[in-house]
Amino acid sequence: MKQKLSTAANAVAVFTALLVFWQVVLWVFHVPRYMLPSPRAVEHAFAERFPTLLNAVVITAEEALGGLLASIVVGVAIALVFAQYRWVRRMLYPYTLLLQTVPIVAIAPLILLWMGSGAASVMLITFIFSLAPIIANTTQGLVSVEENLVHLFLMHNASRQQVLFKLRLPHSVPSLFVGIRIACGISVIGAIMGELYAGSSRVGEGGLGYSIQYASAQLQTDYLFALVVAATVLGFCFFFLVSFFEWHFLHRWHESARTPEVE
Amino acid sequence: MSSVSNLPEVEFVDVAKQYGSGTVVLKGLSLTVKKGEFVSIIGPSGCGKSTALKLISGLTAPSAGTIRIDGMTPKNARETVSYIFQDPTLLPWRTVHQNVGLALELEGLGSKRRTEKTGPLLDMVGLRKVSSAYPRELSGGMKMRVSIARALATRPRLLLMDEPFAALDEMSRDHLNEELLRIRAEQNWTAIFVTHSVAEAVFLSTQIIVLAPNPGRVHCIVPVDLPLLRTSPLRTAPEFENMVAQVSYALREARLQ
């Protein structure tokens, strides 16, 4: 408890120092407002446009969550097939690595072309972005089961399904969470990136990516800063949520389960 | 224990095992284990002790020769055989009683019937109190007890053990040796026990098979003429020490061959 308090105190101290430094830079160098707004101006932009900003955050959160959940469902399904059929794995696994290297900048216009702009397109971009770490980590967890455990199951005449669902799948859960942990950060970035290319621009439908583009074009730097803060907080919330689920599912039996706190 | 035939529990006739790489692990191995025996297999490393167990369990097939378990092929006999590995091989996401019930679950037994069967086993190995604990909360010796209880849950006729106590400290090992014999007196399965320790082999067995290496084959078979009721005082008795000396001598000969 004492340690938690001191961790919190440290974080607050660093944050305060950062604000002071920021203000001092403004005073000393006379930076124009549109280049670097003051902390107070950012706070003001926050308060003034809070409903719009919150709406943008909710839209981006929905898109990111949709893409992330889809990538978990599809990724685990693909990993299960990979674990069951070695020849499928050999044939297709290299292509899952391509998912990570394909430049989203290049395929986003294609998705826009095929599906038009809107939440569905952004979710698809997020999904493509977050899929690779899920597949890679879950497959790893499914196939890296200790040989003797497989032998144990075989000794008791376990079926293929029993080996998969009673041994491989539970064994892969910690690795799955490693994948989700990576994918959850990617999904928020993916959604914001996706919005830059394929986000809706209708009134009340623009997410953080759209708002960032808009604020930047209008030189509303104070609002831009508020959006950056909001995006960061959103990413952090995702991470926290995943950590909570990881702790919930793993803390009783797995050594690596981390408690949902910032250390 | 269903119908008891007069067939030997395990029979090897001229068995050879060669791995894909060309290494000959076992050659011309013939041996018979009668029902109710406790047989230890001992030998220098590379003599194919563990391979012999894998062959009996049907986890790997012989390159030549035949193996019969109570007249059946190893794969067909699996229902009557349990295997205890060198490490406890527990599922870390399951509690102690869920681990003990694993084999029963794989056989399709409902949860109520499983609990009926695992309960007495937990008492037998002294783990009733920690039945809802997870493996990571247990000591090495306790994990091994869970592993033993799991193996016994299906009421096997033949128990295969591959150096099950090798990773434990001497105290836990001696203690578990005694418990194993106590449980066996109640259940009367046939045991094949692979070990590196001569003293352990002598303490547990009715018969010790000494293997010679490169390639693995039977060097000699030593009957253990000690009373069937064995408790810790036996470890310091002169006849026990004589037996240990005799087996150690045979083991040294096997190594020099």
Q: A131-165 pLDDT, tens per residue?
A: 999 999 999 999 999 999 999 999 999 999 999 99
Per-residue pLDDT band at A178 (split at 50, 70, 90): very high
**Residue whose token pair is 């190995």:** B125
Residue in A148, A155, A170 nearest the CB of B93: A170
Find the mean pLDDT for residues A183-198.
91
Backbone phi, psi, residue A79, to 5°: -65, -40
What is the CATH T-level fold of the domain A37-250, as seen in this structure? Answer: MetI-like fold (1.10.3720)
Cβ–Cβ contact B72 with A under 8 A: no
**Pairing of the two strands B81-84 and B190-194:** unpaired
Distances (CA, A) of A84 to A78, A148, A169, A233, B59: 10, 18, 11, 40, 19
Whether residue B105 and residue A155 make contact (CB cut-off 8 A), yes or no, is: no
A 241-260: CB under 8 A from B: 252-255
| Residue of chain A with shortest Cα separation from B93 | A253
Per-residue pLDDT band at B1 (split at 50, 70, 90): very low
Q: How far apart are CA B252 and CA A200, in angstroms?
A: 82
Q: How far is B125 from chain A (nearest CA, A)?
A: 20
Residue of B51, B54, B56, B59 to mutate for A, most A C-beta atoms under 10 A: B59
Q: Which two tokens stand for residue A64?
A: 């990111």
Residue in A157, A170, A252 nearest the CB of B78: A157
Residue type, B191: A
Q: How far apart are CA B150 and CA B161, in angstroms?
A: 13
| Residue of chain B with shortest Cα separation from A146 | B89
pLDDT of residue B143: 94
Q: How far is A132 from chain B (nearest CA, A)?
A: 26
* pLDDT of residue A1 exceeding 70: no
Q: With beta carbons under 8 A apart, name residues in chain A contacting B85.
A: 148, 151-152
Can you list the domains of chain B with their CATH numbers? 10-89+157-256 (3.40.50.300)
* pLDDT of residue A79 exceeding 50: yes
* pLDDT of residue A16 exceeding 50: yes
More confident residue, B207 or A7: B207
* pLDDT of residue A262 exceeding 70: no
A 130-189: CB under 8 A from B: 146, 148-149, 151-158, 162, 166-167, 170-171, 173
Cβ–Cβ contact B85 with A under 8 A: yes
Strands (E), chain B: 10-18, 24-33, 38-42, 64-69, 81-84, 158-162, 190-194, 207-212, 217-223
Classify the complex by whether its ipTM is higher than 0.85, answering yes or no.
yes
* pLDDT of residue B215 exceeding 70: yes
Residue in B82, B87, B103 nearest the CB of A148: B87
Q: pTM to 2 decimals?
A: 0.86
Task: Lay out the sheet containing B158-162: strands in order across.
Answer: B81-84, B158-162, B190-194, B38-42, B207-212, B217-223
Percent above pLDDT 70 for chain A = 96
Residue type, A69: L
Q: Which one, of B11, B71, B16, B72, lies nearest residue B37 by Cα? A: B11
Residue of B56, B79, B85 to mutate for A, most A C-beta atoms under 10 A: B85
Find the mean pLDDT for residues A30-37.
86
Per-residue pLDDT band at A261 (split at 50, 70, 90): very low
Q: Measured over all CA atoms, what is the biggest interatomic distance in chain A, rounded to whole angstroms?
A: 77
Cβ–Cβ contact B154 with A under 8 A: yes
CA angle B21, A151, A165 (to 5 degrees): 125
